[in-house]
Amino acid sequence: MNYDLRKTNKEGRRRFLRYANSLLKNERSNVCLIDESDRTLNQNSYLHVLCRILASYSGVTEDYAKQVYFKRMANPDIFVTATKDPLTNQMITRTRSTTELTVTEMRKAIYRFRLWAEENGCTLPDATINDDESVSFSSSQDRDAFNQAVAETSREDIWL
């Protein structure tokens, strides 16, 4: 079962509390909870740096790299959905936002994006977002590439 525990969803919180109380009342000895938290800010920041690197490499905008390369080409099963319009009977495609992803989905999407970029000639720096939200790089070259991309982006932002 999924429970939306955001402060704005009072009914989801009530349903979760009722379920938890029933587990306690029935003296369940073991319960496994899987946290499906939203993607983290560090994951999002890392993704944007990767998109900037690929955009610079390919000569497109960062938004194009994110929308087309990251979402539509590397991860269509995660981001692209098609539904039939009830009025016109035409197929309408929708692209999900990264804000709708869980931590696990975002991790998978970034991994696949890096593989896709490498298959297309651009090696993106490998980093791991740790449980404490710190970032670890696989190598010093990856850390340096990441820091260089951040520095270049910061210089560009100054002129905007």
* Residue 99 sits in the same domain as residue 21: no
Q: In angstroms, rounded to a whole number, what is the distance separating the alpha carbons of residues 80 and 86?
A: 19
Reported as a pLDDT band with limits 50, 70 and 90, residue 94 is very high
Per DSSP, 120 falls in state T
CATH number at residue 130: 1.10.3790
Strands 135-137 and 127-129: antiparallel
Q: Where are the alpha helices (DSSP H) in 37-139?
A: 41-58, 62-64, 76-79, 103-119
Reported as a pLDDT band with limits 50, 70 and 90, residue 59 is very high
Q: How many domains does the chain have?
A: 2
Query: Which pTM does this prediction carry?
Result: 0.67
* Residue 67 sits in the same domain as residue 88: yes
* Residue 22 sits in the same domain as residue 66: no
* Residue 16 sits in the same domain as residue 49: no
Q: In angstroms, rounded to a whole number, what is the distance separating the alpha carbons of residues 10 and 16?
A: 10
* Residue 71 sits in the same domain as residue 109: yes
Per-residue CA distances from 15 to 19, 65, 102 (Å):
6, 40, 21
Domain of residue 127, residue span: 41-158
Q: In angstroms, rounded to a whole number, what is the distance separating the alpha carbons of residues 1 and 14?
A: 14
* Residue 27 sits in the same domain as residue 48: no
**φ/ψ of residue 147, rounded to 5:** -65, -35
pLDDT of residue 160: 35
The predicted-structure confidence for 15-46, as pLDDT tens digits, reads as follows 888 888 888 888 777 777 766 678 888 888 88
Task: Please list the residues that pair with 38 across neighbouring strands.
Answer: 102
For 38, the 3-state DSSP assignment is: strand
pLDDT of residue 131: 64
Q: What is the mean pLDDT of residues 71-90?
A: 94
Q: Is the pLDDT of residue 151 over 80?
A: no
Provide the phi-psi class of 55: left if phi over 0, else alpha when psi is between -120 and 50, else beta. Answer: alpha
Task: Please list the residues that pair with 78 across neighbouring strands.
Answer: none
Q: What is the mean pLDDT of residues 36-59?
A: 87
pLDDT of residue 42: 83
User: What mean pLDDT is reported for the chain?
Assistant: 84
91, 84 in Cβ contact below 8 A?
yes
